[in-house]
Structure 1
Amino acid sequence: MNTSFTVIGLSTGIIRPRDPFTDRIIDAAKKTCGGFHNGDILVLAETAVATSEGNVVRLDSVTPSPHARELAEKYHMDPRTVEVVLKESDSVVGGIPGFLLCMKQGTLLPNAGVDASNAPPGCVTPLPADPNGSALRIKNEIEGQCGIKIGVLIIDSRTHAMRLGCSGVAIGCSGITSVIDDRGRSDLFGRKLEVTKRAIADNIASAAELVMGEADECTPAVIVRGLGMPIGDQIGVDTIDADECLFMGVFRKSQI
């Protein structure tokens, strides 16, 4: 990979359900940086993708179950939001006031990715139903219209154990590898690396979030240009089994 690159924010305006999201991105790229180039990596905020796909839940349409009400009381949450979180989760492993810690699609995350920020009033936005499929679809649409080859990441914001604040993490990936295996390379003193793997998609996601922001920036898309990563047919974000996860190991026996 190249040692220097550019991160370009694309302002799309507010995205609403069933908006022509890909067309809005292409127009924003043309206005901002002359359009897409071969080798660009397009990074998209999950809320914008989910909203454009119509994956928005009105809370006044939700009837909380007894289990949702119990958890809502315990963790000081809106029981309707808890009900949506339960439906989006594979399992719930714990919580703190305001948040449930959930397993979903092979990863550990707060509230199963259900988010009220940047969602229409009175609504919450779950994660895209198929983030990898969405990344592939958008990649194919842009490549078809623009005649270039790009990678596409769909990203979310996550907290990390014992750290304050959020950083970016990829939840959908198409066209680039999500993890680079550095095992077998030598360190500064000639020792062979035995376990090091770089979460390149997550690192790109964090760089993109510096431009996207988390509030009213209206910049749900970013082009990362100049990394020099090969563009191919890869699909998906590499994960590990819960048995191999240092943090998940603490929670496996305490699922609710």
Structure 2
Amino acid sequence: MSLVLYGLKLPEIKPGDSIPDMIIKAAEKQCGGIENGDIVLVTSKIVSKAMNLLIKVDKIKPLKKAIELARKAGWDPRVAQILLNESDSVLLAIPFKKFTEKGIIKLEEISKDVDKAKEAARLYPTIFITLRDGQLWSDSGLDFSNHPLGICSIPPRNLDKVARDIALRIKEKSNKDVAVIICDTELFPFGSLDIARGSYGIMPISKSFGELDRYGKPKFGGVDHIAHELCCAAALLMRQCAEGIPVVIVRGLKYEKSEEGVASYTMNLDKIRYVLIEILIHTIRVLGFKYFLSSILRFIKSR
């Protein structure tokens, strides 16, 4: 069994462009055309460009809440207003610049040009973790990279529908059944990864929890997030800078077809709250309140 990944180069995307039509044309020239069963992975950024989800920062008038947030976070108040507009809830503020100054994040280990890295940290001293359409985002997906100065893109709402629309358009134009996954780069403690934000035509996860292992025991595991894994694989071709490969076709993977999307496997804010509270209660019940309290105190003192 083997998988083949084709990175498709596309021309610069402009508002109003048809992403499916451009994918079909590029695939014909670069990988012999689209085939039934292909999985088409698309960066959310080109979708934003095609849908004209571009914001001119100098046109934004920040309100009082955004001005106060920006003052505390070291942000441009206009960008803070965009963040608030695009967030269902702002959950956390991560002092990224402070972490670099304290050596917790060592810029020389993550950048070949420390001076440029310091400038990036100065421009983005705080990273916000937000909730948007039931998913966690850093800075609600606001993206200034590979845009002209003063322009940022925002991700579309309901990316499962976006994936569906692309898949159906490809079917209409090429008569090929494909799955589509919308990818987006997200921050993690150990680096960035591309993850699935929307999907159509493929079951996002493998429903294998509890299946028997080779010794006949039920497995505690087996729920692979296939959509995320495919985005990570595609990112090896897409990369993060100026490669100009916003679409990757994966060919040869056997997968379960599904009209369910990524949104079917996310938690809303109420569920997240419930989970956190139950974890806290269960921790105290199992480890004891005294142990829990002493652990918290040790953690605070170590700071």
Q: TM (normalized to structure 1)?
A: 0.89
1:249 aligns with 2:276: yes
Deviates more, 1:76-85 or 1:225-234: 225-234
Deviates more, 1:188-197 or 1:43-52: 188-197
Counterpart in 1 of 2:255? 229
Letter in 1 for 2:167: K
- Quote how far apart the aligned CAs of 1:188 are: 5.0
Among 131, 140, 155, the residue aligned to 1:103:
131
Aligned to 1:90: 88
Could you tell me which runs of 5 or more consecutive residues in structure 1 were left unpaired when the two chains were aligned: 251-256
SS in 1 for 2:6: strand
Alignment equivalent of 2:177, drawn from 120, 130, 149: 149
Q: Deviations over 1:84-112 (max 9, x none)?
A: 11111001012123321111111111111
Distance 1:153 1:72 in 2: 34
The structure 2 residue matched to 1:136, chosen from 150, 164, 186, is 164
- Which residue of structure 1 aligns with residue 65 of structure 2? 67
Q: Supply the AA of the counterpart residue of 1:34.
A: G
Long gaps (5+) in structure 2 = 95-124, 278-303
Contact 1:185 1:193 in 2 (8 A): yes
Output the amino acid matched with 2:47. Answer: V
Q: In structure 1, what is the equivalent of residue 16 of structure 2?
A: 18
Residue-by-residue CA offset, 1:121-162 (whole Å, 9 max, x unaligned) = 3111111122111111110111111111000001111122xx
TM-superposed CA distance for 1:115, in Å, is 0.9
Q: Deviations over 1:154-204 (max 9, x none)?
A: 1111122xx221111111111111111111223354431245411110111
Show the counterpart of 2:150: 122
CA distance 1:197–1:244, change in 2 (3 Å): farther
**1:112 — aligned with what?**
140
Q: Deviations over 1:190-224 (max 9, x none)?
A: 43124541111011111111111111111111101
Letter in 2 for 1:211: L
| 1-structure distance, mates of 2:144, 2:27 | 27
Match of residue 223 from structure 2:
197
Q: Residues 234, 157 of structure 1: CA spacing in aligned structure 2 closer, same or farther, 3 A cutoff? A: same
Change (3 A) 1:188 1:27: same
Q: 2:207 aligns with which of 159, 164, 181?
A: 181
Mean alpha-carbon deviation: is it higher for 34-43 or for 99-108?
99-108
User: In structure 2, the residue corresponding to 1:57 is in which secondary structure?
Assistant: strand
Specify the alignment match of 2:283 in structure 1: none
Figure out how many residues of one structure are paired with residues of the other and give that number.
Answer: 246
- Say which one has the larger Rg: 2
Aligned residues with identical type, % of pairs? 31
Secondary structure at 1:197's aligned position in 2? Answer: coil
Residue of structure 1 in register with 2:239 after alignment: 213
Distance 1:120 1:135, change over 3 A: farther
Cα distance in structure 2, aligned partners of 1:21 and 1:60 = 28
Find the aligned partners of 1:191 and 1:47 in 2 and give their Cα distance. Answer: 44
User: Structure 2 CA distance, aligned partners of 1:241 and 1:188?
Assistant: 36
Tell me the SS of whatever aligns to 2:41. Answer: strand
In 2, distance between residues paired with 1:203 and 1:244? 25
Counterpart-to-counterpart distance in 1, 2:131 and 2:179: 27
One-letter identity of the residue aligned with 2:193: S
Does residue 171 (structure 1) correspond to residue 169 (structure 2)? The answer is no
Structure having greater relative contact order (Cα 8 Å, sep ≥ 6): 1
Q: Given residue 232 of structure 2, which amino acid in structure 1 is its aligned partner?
A: S
For the 8 Å contact 2:133–2:157, the answer to whether it is kept is: no
The superposition leaves residues 39-76 of structure 1 with CA deviations (integer Å, 9 ceiling, x where unpaired) of: 00000000110110111111011111111111112122
Give the superposition deviation at 1:232: 4.2
Aligned pair 1:36/2:62, yes or no?
A: no
- Find out whether 1:240 has 2:238 as its counterpart: no
2-structure distance, mates of 1:31, 1:49: 21
Deviation at 1:21, TM superposition (A): 2.1
**Structure 1 residue 233: deviation in Å?**
3.2
Q: What is the aligned-residue RMSD (CA, Å)?
A: 2.1
